[in-house]
Amino acid sequence: MAGRGDATRARLIDAARTLVEERGYFGAGLNDVIAAGRAPRGSLYHHFPGGKDQLVAEALAVSGREVTELIAGLAAEASDTAELIEAVLDALADRMEAAGYAKGCPIAAVALEAASGNDVLQRVCADVYGGWERALADRLIADGHAPGRADDLAGSLLALVEGSLVLARAQRSRTPVERARRSARTMLGS
């Protein structure tokens, strides 16, 4: 059974996930995370002695695992990679739309805003994106693509998904996601 400390830690991670995705790394202040996580100030540094970078890195890792699990679950149901990409796009677009376009990809805000100047966050973003790309490449290989071709396609498909989410959030419209769905089918020859 998890103790109060574990619950506090989890609330802080969840608050960081939400605030960083909505406001970006620099827009999510520690005071905001503490308030949203309903935690005493001292608990932040108790649970995250590395400060904001450690907290955000762990929040990104949790978000990354969540999307990895989403991809795995959708891959098990999809008949091919094109159907998988469409399902991923739909799930992420539905999530974004439900949040009033305040959310997009849970990793993109940090990747765009802070990863270039922060080695810890850069590594976490790269690892998360690498895992998603690997999952797509594995599915492409299962669909009969050669490994090198699968890696190239997986990278391109991930870029298509990420780009469409950024554009959809900026435009507050699903149109970029719908275009990405069609483009994915074209890329995959479906």
Residue 64 falls inside a structural domain: yes
Long-range contacts of 23-32 (CB under 8 A, 24+ apart): 23/109, 24/109, 24/110, 24/113, 24/114, 25/56, 25/109, 25/110, 25/113, 25/114, 25/121, 26/113, 26/114, 28/56
Q: Total domain count for the chain?
A: 1
82-135 pLDDT, tens digit per residue, is 999 999 999 999 999 999 999 988 899 999 998 889 999 999 999 999 999 999
pLDDT tens, position by position, 28-57: 999 999 999 999 888 999 999 999 999 999
> Considering the domain boundaries, does residue 43 fall inside one?
no
pLDDT tens, residue by residue, 4-16: 778 999 999 999 9
Res. 19 pLDDT band, cuts 50 70 90: very high
- Contact between 125 and 111 under an 8 Å Cβ cutoff? The reply is yes
Q: What is the rounded CA–CA span in Å between residue 176 and residue 105?
A: 14
Residue 51 within a domain: no
Residue 1: the pLDDT is 42
CATH of the domain at 64: 1.10.357.10
Q: Could you tell me if residue 15 is inside a domain?
A: no
| Local confidence band at 3 (pLDDT 50, 70, 90 cut-offs) | low
pLDDT of residue 20: 94
Owning domain of residue 97: 57-187
Residues 27, 8: Cα–Cα separation, whole Å: 22
Question: 18 in a domain, yes or no?
Answer: no
The answer to whether residue 98 is domain-embedded is: yes
pLDDT bin (cut points 50, 70, 90) of residue 68 is very high
Please state the pTM of the whole predicted model: 0.91
Residue 97 lies in a domain: yes
